[in-house]
Amino acid sequence: MSELSDIQKLIRLKRYEQPPEGYFDDFLFEFQRRQRAEMLKRPLWQIVWERANLWLESFRVPAIAYASILVAAVGVTGVVVNSQNNASAVSGGIAAVNNPVVVSPAAPVGGQVAPASTSPHSYVLEKRPVSYDAPFSF
């Protein structure tokens, strides 16, 4: 018999260190009590989220359906945002036409730009888009 296997035989005796009889029944009872207590302590949003998931699962909707809904939602959001941006750009353009921007022509390189009100020479730039002009004027 080798020395190492003697050590193993001694260590194996530790398997007799067992909790008292009936311990595992009590353990299960205590586990169930803690399980219930934990479920009652859960935040409301978690319960609502889980219920919602269970409810959706009851329809047996395939995962691809969720993906399609998500893609559609992203698409609709994109269209709405885009149209809002266009609307603001158009209104900005109209405002620019009504209120022309005055720019000083002789801005010194590296120097300060004089205020428009004090500058004797100035140009008026109309921010009217070129496409608004008639294409051909004979």
Hey, what are 30's tokens?
């205590």
Kindly indicate which of the ranges 34-42, 67-75, 107-115, 127-135 contains the residues binding other proteins, using the contact rule CB under 8 A: 34-42
Categorise residue 28: left if φ over 0, alpha if ψ from -120 to 50, beta otherwise. Answer: alpha
Should residue 121 be labelled a site residue for other proteins when binding is judged by CB under 8 A?
A: no
Q: Which of 1, 109, 130, 134 binds other proteins (CB under 8 A)?
A: 1
Exposure letters 56-85 (e unless 16+ CB within 10 A, then b): eeeeeeeeeeeeeeeeeeeeeeeeeeeeee
For residue 28, state whether it binds other proteins (rule: CB under 8 A). Answer: yes
Chain mean position to CA 32: 38
Length of the chain: 138
Q: Per rule CB under 8 A, is residue 133 in the interface with other proteins? A: no
Binding residue for other proteins (CB under 8 A) from 35, 68, 82, 83? 35
Interacting span for other proteins (CB under 8 A) from 17-25, 70-78, 83-91, 128-136:
17-25
Q: Draw the binding track, 36-65, toward other proteins (x: CB under 8 A; -: no contact).
A: --x---------------x-----------
- Residue whose CB is less far from other proteins, 17 or 133: 17
Residue 115 has phi, psi (to 5 degrees) of -60, 145
